[in-house]
Amino acid sequence: MLCNTLNETLAKVRDVSAILNPRQLASLGLEASLRAHLLKTLGNTSIHWSLECQQRLTGIPEEMAVAAFRITQEAVTNMLRHAQAQNLLVRLQRLPQGLSLFISDDGQGFSPASNPGLEGQRGMAGMSERIDQLGGTLSVSSQPGKGTRIDALFPWAPRALERASPLKVLE
């Protein structure tokens, strides 16, 4: 009895650890990691889901990949807890201005808070913090009965600007 409880607890700790530290991002890449997460998270549900990536997503900076993974993870968790959705679409696109993440469900929707952290929407606040840290933009569109749509844009790092800045001359 105690052994079963201990084994179940250890399995849950490993699952939580894998979620909090998505090691597969480094080895598998963003698309495969998201696909594995969606398969595991939605596999035993009746939700129809799709992950669309038109281009190869190699060379995405690690902090950008982690943020996109976490935002998707939070959106899926929210959908499962609150939305009663039947369909989910996750789309990643490499655009000239950055990495675009689009997440849409047909659930019951909600009224997004203007200041989610202060209004009890901690998951939404976390999404905003992640995108803000990378200088990106996040738009959440939802209404009760109308589903939810999340648009995030992670801008590419200004490498050209870094190369163009003058070097300090040591005297």
- Residue spans of the domains in the chain: they are 2-157
CATH superfamily name and code, 2-157: Histidine kinase-like ATPase, C-terminal domain (3.30.565.10)
The answer, yes or no, to whether residue 57 has pLDDT greater than 50, is yes
- Helix (H) / strand (E) element for 127: namely helix 122-133
pLDDT in tens, 123-151: 888 899 999 999 999 999 998 889 999 99
- As given in the structure block, the two tokens for residue 127 are 């999404």
pTM for this model (two decimals): 0.78
In degrees and rounded to multiples of 5, residue 95 shows phi and psi of -110, 160
Contact assessment for residue 86 and residue 142, using Cβ atoms and an 8 Å cutoff: no
pLDDT in tens, 60-104: 999 999 999 999 999 999 999 999 999 999 999 999 999 999 999
Q: Indicate if the alpha-carbon torsion angle 113, 119, 124, 125 is positive or negative.
A: positive
The answer, yes or no, to whether residue 163 has pLDDT greater than 60, is no
Contacts of residue 153, Cβ cutoff 8 Å, sequence gap at least 6: 95, 97, 98, 99, 100, 101, 136, 137
- Residue 121 pLDDT class (50, 70, 90 cuts): confident
